[in-house]
Amino acid sequence: MQADALKGGFADASFQSAKAFRAAMNAMARPGRIELLDGARPPAPMSRAAGALILTLCDPETPICLAGMHDCPDVRGWITFHTGAPISNPASASFVLGNWQSLQPLSRFPKGTSEYPDRSATLIVEMPELSATGARLSGPGIKDGTGFALPEVASFQANAALYPLGLDFFFTCGFKVAALPRSTKVEGI
Amino acid sequence: MADDASRKHWMSLLSKANPQDLAHLWAEVSMGVEFSFLRTPEVGAIMVRGRAGATGAPFNLGEMTVARCSVQLQGGEIGHAYVQGRDKTHATQAAVIDALMHTDKADTMREHILDPLSENFERARAARAARAAATKVDFFTMVRGED
């Protein structure tokens, strides 16, 4: 492992993780709204926002699955050192990190059970850019409808149809984050 | 590069050392070492587990407070420390010494810090053993005259 791969955790963990948690919570409460999320300097190819999310949300009780090129020794070492989260297979993951292509098919991730819909995976999707134009979102947390550039529409419509089961999504790019919970309705334009 | 067993030995010494003793010894040889934090010092609790006779089923002995820290020297060497208690300076010093043990300063560290700590530790253990030995009772049976 590269010695530098362990750098880039929160310098002031209590304040930075509280701030990051607030950004993540606001993003989830207002689907499609883009929040700033900074403070972490994870190894490539992870974005700073994804690093801060993982530092804030993951611990030894949340298995994390790495997909595609995010499954590399630097990222594994960094996550293990800073959070202690076990690296898991897709079927038992609480969190999943990857880009949209590497996350397919979504059906391999846990979507919860009728008794425990919360036992589902949260997907952290690394995006080339976040933009507020594109698919139309509506539902809880959105007053009149908002736009957000999703990688595709059909998967999110299928996911919303599973409600109360389903996956929740964070979209990250650089130091920006947006979210799409399972309760949001998605319409293509 | 040191092998695992000797690293375990010095990390154990550093984690059990008295923080004041370590600070004294460190002040003499610190030489303005430059380092950056990989993990800033933080305090937490760990569960200590034991096995009866080292072969029995593991059981939870109890929780203890520890401070931990990880540092990186300018040369790139990484040092980790878990120390007992909640003294963050102690954790930082122990981590820096662990990192320095991977450099050419290892012999200085061993001579000026680890050996004195080891002596202190042995002395304290001997003193405690002696105190305990003073209370030892030898049971023996007087030979009774049978008539």
Any B CB within 8 A of A3 CB = yes
Please check whether residue B16 is in contact with residue B121, taking contact to mean a CB–CB distance below 8 angstroms: yes
Tell me whether residue A5 is in a domain. no
C-alpha span between A179 and A181 (Å, rounded): 6
Q: Which helix (H) or strand (E) holds B124?
A: helix B115-134
Nearest C-alpha of chain B: how many angstroms from A51? 15
Task: Work out how many domains chain A is built from and give that number.
Answer: 1
- CB-CB under 8 Å, B40 with A11: yes
Write out residues 19-58 of A within 8 Å (CB-CB) of B. Answer: none
Q: Can you tell me the mean pLDDT for A107-125? A: 93
The SS3 assignment for B61 reads: strand
- What pLDDT, on a 0 to 100 scale, did the predictor assign at position B66? 95
- What pLDDT, on a 0 to 100 scale, did the predictor assign at position B103? 87
Which residues contact residue A19 at a Cβ distance below 8 angstroms, ignoring those fewer than 6 apart? A39
Q: Can you tell me the mean pLDDT for A110-131? A: 92
- Chain B positions touching A3 (Cβ under 8 A) are 72, 76-78
Q: Can you tell me the mean pLDDT for A151-168? A: 91
> How far is C-alpha B102 from the geometric centre of its chain's CA atoms?
18
Q: Which of B38, B77, B78 sits opposite A9 (nearest CB)?
A: B38
List the one residue out of A167, A159, A153, A162 whose CA is nearest residue A65: A167
Tell me whether residue A189 is in a domain. no
Tell me whether residue A188 is in a domain. no
User: What does the block give as tokens for A43?
Assistant: 């190894």
Between B79 and A5, residue with greater pLDDT: B79
C-alpha span between B71 and B96 (Å, rounded): 6
Tell me whether residue A186 is in a domain. no
Q: Can you tell me the mean pLDDT for A108-126? A: 93
In percent, the amount of chain B with pLDDT more than 90 equals 37
List the one residue out of B113, B84, B83, B78 whose CA is nearest residue B98: B78
pLDDT, tens only, A123-146: 999 999 998 888 899 989 998 888
Instruction: Verify cis geometry, omega within 30 degrees of 0, for the bond prior to A45.
Output: yes
Please check whether residue A132 is in contact with residue A178, taking contact to mean a CB–CB distance below 8 angstroms: no
Query: How many C-alpha atoms does A170 have within 13 Å on its Cβ side?
Result: 32
- What pLDDT, on a 0 to 100 scale, did the predictor assign at position B147? 63
Tell me whether residue A127 is in a domain. yes
Q: Can you tell me the mean pLDDT for B99-107? A: 87
* pLDDT tier at A3, thresholds 50, 70, 90: low
> How far is C-alpha A184 from the geometric centre of its chain's CA atoms?
16
- CB-CB under 8 Å, A13 with B78: no
- CB-CB under 8 Å, A81 with B38: yes
Nearest C-alpha of chain A: how many angstroms from B70? 10
* pLDDT tier at A14, thresholds 50, 70, 90: confident
- What pLDDT, on a 0 to 100 scale, did the predictor assign at position A76? 92
- CB-CB under 8 Å, B42 with A13: yes
CATH number of the domain encompassing residue A106? 3.40.50.11310
What is the residue range of A88's domain?
10-181
- CB-CB under 8 Å, B40 with A12: yes
* pLDDT tier at B70, thresholds 50, 70, 90: very high
Q: Is the pLDDT of residue B122 over 50?
A: yes
Please check whether residue A171 is in contact with residue A180, taking contact to mean a CB–CB distance below 8 angstroms: yes
Rounded to two decimals, the pTM is 0.81
Please name the residue of chain B whose CA is at the shortest distance from the CA of residue A42: B38
Q: Is the pLDDT of residue A171 over 90?
A: yes
- CB-CB under 8 Å, B78 with A7: no
- What pLDDT, on a 0 to 100 scale, did the predictor assign at position A10? 85
* pLDDT tier at A104, thresholds 50, 70, 90: confident
Nearest C-alpha of chain A: how many angstroms from B113? 26
Tell me whether residue A88 is in a domain. yes
- What pLDDT, on a 0 to 100 scale, did the predictor assign at position A1? 42
Mark out chain B residues that contact chain A at CB-CB < 8 A.
Answer: 36-40, 42, 70, 72, 76-78
Please name the residue of chain A whose CA is at the shortest distance from the CA of residue B40: A11
Q: Is the pLDDT of residue A2 over 60?
A: no
State the Cα torsion B56-B62-B66-B71 to the nearest 10°.
30
Q: Can you tell me the mean pLDDT for B47-69? A: 91
Q: Is the pLDDT of residue A12 over 90?
A: no
